[in-house]
Amino acid sequence: MGVEIKERRVTDAEFEEMKQFVFEYLAASVEKEEEGGRMRWYPWHSAEYRHNHILNVVELATEIAQKEGADVDVTRVAALFHDVAKLETDQELHAEAGARVAREYLESRGEYPESFIQQVCRAVEQHSYQGDLSDVALETQCLIEADLLDKVGANGTALMLLRMGYEARTHMDSDEMVERVLERGYNAASRVESETAEGIAHQRLKRVKWFSEWLEDEIAGMGD
Ligand SMILES: [Fe+2]
């Protein structure tokens, strides 16, 4: 949809192939690990969740990139690969490892210019950056913003409630847990740089606020 002015470097068919690769990579990371891995029962640690999170980040990052004038292909390919190594590597190393997987994949296809590969890998490598978002390239910024935004809002709330089930908590704890999602949302809103991401952050924050108010309104003894 829409008018594509720039020449596309990554066709939709190529992008679908990349998706397939990333999801197979995630599933294989879980299969080959030994018993007693990294709390795989936790909602955030399954290949299915990671797969879904990546799709959400691709969508959010693409929207932000389009509206903010970033290179859409660099951004969406980086978003797709950003957590590819998450299930096989420690948290502190997964960004670097993901960039290596992305480079290997893109080089093996042989048709992408080195400058494109470099930009994609830089964004993947820097997506865990904790500093000011005005320090990084625009495409990296779009990716980090999208990654932050997927943890807040209705989706973040649903995951937090799911986690309560795994932890055998009762629903009376839900106001406290939703409060954590809200806090995360405030942090995300204060960190994002672009107007597009700010708009999405506020919309999602509002949803969590509503939900927490509804809970307190409906459940006796909650929020006192
Ligand atoms: Fe992520």
Q: Compute the distance from residue 221 Cα to the ligand 1 centre, in Å.
A: 36
Q: 163, 171, 178: which is closest to 208 by C-alpha?
A: 178
Do 98 and 159 belong to one domain? no
Q: Compute the distance from residue 127 Cα to the ligand 1 centre, in Å.
A: 8
Instruction: Give the pLDDT score at 40.
Output: 63
Do 81 and 137 belong to one domain? yes
- 140, 129 contact by CB (below 8 A): yes
Q: Compute the distance from residue 128 Cα to the ligand 1 centre, in Å.
A: 9
Do 29 and 62 belong to one domain? yes
Q: Is residue 22 part of a domain?
A: yes
Q: Is residue 223 part of a domain?
A: no
Q: Compute the distance from residue 82 Cα to the ligand 1 centre, in Å.
A: 6
Q: Compute the distance from residue 224 Cα to the ligand 1 centre, in Å.
A: 35
Do 20 and 77 belong to one domain? yes
Q: 123, 115, 121, 139: which is closest to 61 by C-alpha?
A: 139
- 58, 74 contact by CB (below 8 A): no
* Domains of the chain: total: 2
Do 86 and 179 belong to one domain? no
Instruction: Give the pLDDT score at 8.
Output: 55
Q: Is residue 62 part of a domain?
A: yes
User: What CATH number should be reported for the domain holding residue 18?
Assistant: 1.10.3210.10
Q: Compute the distance from residue 217 Cα to the ligand 1 centre, in Å.
A: 33
Q: Compute the distance from residue 146 Cα to the ligand 1 centre, in Å.
A: 8
Do 41 and 122 belong to one domain? yes
Q: Compute the distance from residue 216 Cα to the ligand 1 centre, in Å.
A: 31
Q: Compute the distance from residue 9 Cα to the ligand 1 centre, in Å.
A: 24
Among 142, 174, 199, the domain boundary falls at 142
Do 26 and 104 belong to one domain? yes
Instruction: Give the pLDDT score at 150.
Output: 94
Instruction: Give the pLDDT score at 224.
Output: 67
Instruction: Give the pLDDT score at 220.
Output: 83
Q: Is residue 2 part of a domain?
A: no
Q: Compute the distance from residue 147 Cα to the ligand 1 centre, in Å.
A: 5
Q: Compute the distance from residue 54 Cα to the ligand 1 centre, in Å.
A: 6
Do 123 and 165 belong to one domain? no
Do 31 and 134 belong to one domain? yes
- Under-70 pLDDT residues of the chain: 1-8, 33-41, 223-224
Q: Is residue 147 part of a domain?
A: no
Q: Compute the distance from residue 115 Cα to the ligand 1 centre, in Å.
A: 24
Do 25 and 68 belong to one domain? yes
Instruction: Give the pLDDT score at 84.
Output: 94
Q: Compute the distance from residue 222 Cα to the ligand 1 centre, in Å.
A: 32
Do 19 and 68 belong to one domain? yes
| Full residue range of the structural domain in which residue 158 is found | 154-218
Do 40 and 100 belong to one domain? yes
Q: Is residue 193 part of a domain?
A: yes
Q: Is residue 74 part of a domain?
A: yes
- 78, 143 contact by CB (below 8 A): yes
Chain-centroid distance of CA 17 in Å reads 20
Give the global pTM: 0.90
Burial of 96 (0-12, 13-18, 19+ CB in 10 A): middle
